[in-house]
Amino acid sequence: MQQRASTDHLKAFAEKCRRKKLRVTPQRTEIFKILLKLQTHPSAEGVYRVVKTRFPNISFDTVNRTLLTFAEIGLIDVVEGYGDPRRFDLNLEHHHHFYCMNCRKITDLFCEAFDQLAVPKDIKERFTVTNKRVVLRGFCDNCGSNRVGDNSKQS
Ligand SMILES: [Zn+2]
Ligand SMILES: [Zn+2]
């Protein structure tokens, strides 16, 4: 199933590039594949580290520019880095995020209750809201257990 989904994604990728007149180079395909594989909303640096193992001569700048181009043509989303460098999100469906303050992993959340959160009237009057995303922060499964009773009481 996973495999199939990836093939579909790659097909959609190639098609979108063609439509936007972006050449499908081996480097670009590899970068897209890495995004498919890393489901952690990687930063450009994170993608660069992986792509370098296959294309040792690729520069960080190329990777960064490629990611921004992907975002420009609507292949991926740029999400908040929460104080870190910007992060990239392959999932274009409406969803929410859980951000781990320790390992910085961003996990996708699908939650109907969050989808249905109403924007208060005074906010609607001040801003044109085009998108709503709930961001939860805390510690993920891996990091949380190390922290219980740790320094959470000190402040
Ligand atoms: Zn974590
Ligand atoms: Zn996401």
| Cα 70 to ligand 2 centre (Å) | 15
| Cα 155 to ligand 1 centre (Å) | 21
| Cα 136 to ligand 1 centre (Å) | 13
Q: Please tell me the pTM assigned to this model.
A: 0.75
| Cα 113 to ligand 2 centre (Å) | 17
What string of pLDDT tens digits covers the 155 residues of the chain? 455 667 888 999 999 999 999 999 999 999 999 999 888 899 999 999 999 999 999 999 999 999 999 999 999 999 877 777 899 998 888 999 999 989 988 999 999 999 998 999 999 999 998 888 999 989 999 998 666 555 544 43
- What string of DSSP letters covers 103-145? T--EEEE--HHHHTPPPPHHHHHHS-------EEEE--HHHHT
